Amino acid sequence: MTEIRKTPLAQTFNRMMSRGLDHTDYTKLVRRVENGEDHVKVCEELGDKSHSYAEEALKKGHNDTARIFFMKAAALYRIGEYDLTYITDEKLRIYNKILRSFSKGIQLYDHMTVEKVELPYKNSKMSGWIIIPKKAPKDVPVIVVTGGLTGFKEEANAMAMALANRGFAILLMDGPGQGESLYFNKCYLEIDYQEAHNVMFDYILSRNDVGNKIGIYGMSFGGYLVTRTAGFLPHKLAACVSLGGAYEVAECLNFAPNWLNKFAVRFGKDEAYVKNNLLDKLNLKGIAEKITCPLLILHNDPDPIFSVEGAKKTYSEAASKDKTIKIFSQYDHCAHTDATEVSTFIVDWFTDRLFKS
């Protein structure tokens, strides 16, 4: 008998709402799953309906409507495949639908130019988008937006859009072990993720339509990745923001021991190898103290996945003269419950340092 899959616990109401799910789709999804339907199948069906509606709107020249429904579809597909850990035919089918809908939707914003980016990296490539507001000056600052262990560029797009709407250019990428780069390019996660970020930075610096002020933002595991990079490449960064990041990544297995399989898939190794040889290297020991650029850390107290103690340790060890830590005093991860305050605070913080300095 086929198991009926429930909505993943990590996909909370606040997370889904703040990362682009339409509230009407949420209502339909909850009702149908509570009535015994399969979460993945419901998400794919609803996503298909939104994608088809978007295609019809596009044919009629209703571009804004098409964009809205393409992005609705992408959010549904993304939430649908979220808990499919292994790279199965089902996962690849749904992820292809994410890419198809997201690609069509993101290119329909009329106040920004959006260009697909494929960056060669070692024996593979990284995939993503560069987003530039149409009225941006030639020296516009660029924010590199980095997803996490389970939420990739399409989920991080909510923050990317908040920054682009304030005038920043954005490099929205799936790096090693993430999303499109992993599933279709076989670009596996690596300890020295800063090397991938360095390729992204060099790409930005090679363009003549954006400036050389580079900020970096990451959420959850991505929050760890960006602070790591800030420690290794402080001379290339004008600012760094970590939302819900880690000092010791392995502590997340205290919350969800089965996440070891997620790391294994992303590293392209078996679980035993990851546990014995890689996990203990994912930390900021001897790295946080090398961070010198302006640094913002946002975290929850308590955070069930990455401890607030780790966030405070990163903050205290960082050598940055300009550093801020903002703690939200409730049980949450990445402050989804306070998403509006978080996104506006981050945008304001970047604006004060990259546009006004």
Return the CATH number at 76. 1.20.1440
Give the pLDDT confidence score for residue 310 in this predicted structure.
98
* Residue 240 shares a structural domain with residue 348: yes
* Residue 306 shares a structural domain with residue 191: yes
Q: Is the distance from CB of 171 to CB of 143 less than 8 angstroms? A: yes
* Residue 17 shares a structural domain with residue 133: no
| Number of domains composing the chain | 2
Task: Convert the pLDDT of each residue in 46-84 to its tens digit.
Answer: 999 999 999 999 999 999 999 999 999 999 999 999 999
Q: Report which of 208, 192, 202 is spatially closest to residue 235, judged by C-alpha positions.
A: 202
Question: Parallel, antiparallel, or unpaired for β 124-133 and 169-174?
Answer: antiparallel
Running DSSP on this structure, what letter comes out for residue 307? -
Task: Convert the pLDDT of each residue in 81-134 to its tens digit.
Answer: 999 999 999 999 999 999 999 999 999 999 999 999 999 999 999 999 999 999
Which single residue is written with the structure tokens 């360095």? Answer: 198
Q: Is the distance from CB of 102 to CB of 94 less than 8 angstroms? A: no
Task: Convert the pLDDT of each residue in 282-300 to its tens digit.
Answer: 999 999 999 999 999 999 9
Q: Report which of 95, 230, 276, 113 is spatially closest to residue 174, judged by C-alpha positions.
A: 95
- Name the band, by pLDDT with cuts 50, 70 and 90, for residue 356: confident
Give the pLDDT confidence score for residue 1 in this predicted structure.
55
**Euclidean distance between CA atoms 256 and 105, whole angstroms:** 34
* 3-class SS of residue 207: coil
* Residue 161 shares a structural domain with residue 238: yes
* Residue 21 shares a structural domain with residue 150: no
Indicate whether 2 belongs to any domain. Answer: no
* Residue 311 shares a structural domain with residue 211: yes
* Residue 86 shares a structural domain with residue 167: no
**Residue 96 CB neighbours (<10 A):** 14
- Name the band, by pLDDT with cuts 50, 70 and 90, for residue 357: low
* Residue 97 shares a structural domain with residue 115: no
Indicate whether 3 belongs to any domain. Answer: no
Q: Is the distance from CB of 229 to CB of 216 less than 8 angstroms? A: yes
Running DSSP on this structure, what letter comes out for residue 283? B
Give the pLDDT confidence score for residue 76 in this predicted structure.
98
* Residue 68 shares a structural domain with residue 120: no
**Euclidean distance between CA atoms 328 and 326, whole angstroms:** 7
Is the pLDDT assigned to residue 12 strictly greater than 80? yes
* Residue 212 shares a structural domain with residue 68: no
Indicate whether 7 belongs to any domain. Answer: no
| Tokens matching residue 61 | 């020249």
Exposed (0-12), middle (13-18) or buried (19+): which is 48, by Cβ within 10 Å?
middle
* Residue 338 shares a structural domain with residue 255: yes
Q: Is the peptide bond before 141 cis (omega within 30 degrees of 0)?
A: no
* Residue 232 shares a structural domain with residue 324: yes
Average pLDDT of the chain, as a whole number: 97
Domain range for 325 is: 111-354
**Euclidean distance between CA atoms 228 and 288, whole angstroms:** 7
Task: Convert the pLDDT of each residue in 171-186 to its tens digit.
Answer: 999 999 999 999 999 9
Indicate whether 8 belongs to any domain. Answer: no
Domain end (from 101, 135, 155) = 101
CATH number at residue 261: 3.40.50.1820
Strand arrangement of the beta sheet that strand 239-243 belongs to: 112-121, 124-133, 169-174, 142-146, 214-219, 239-243, 295-300, 323-328
Indicate whether 150 belongs to any domain. Answer: yes
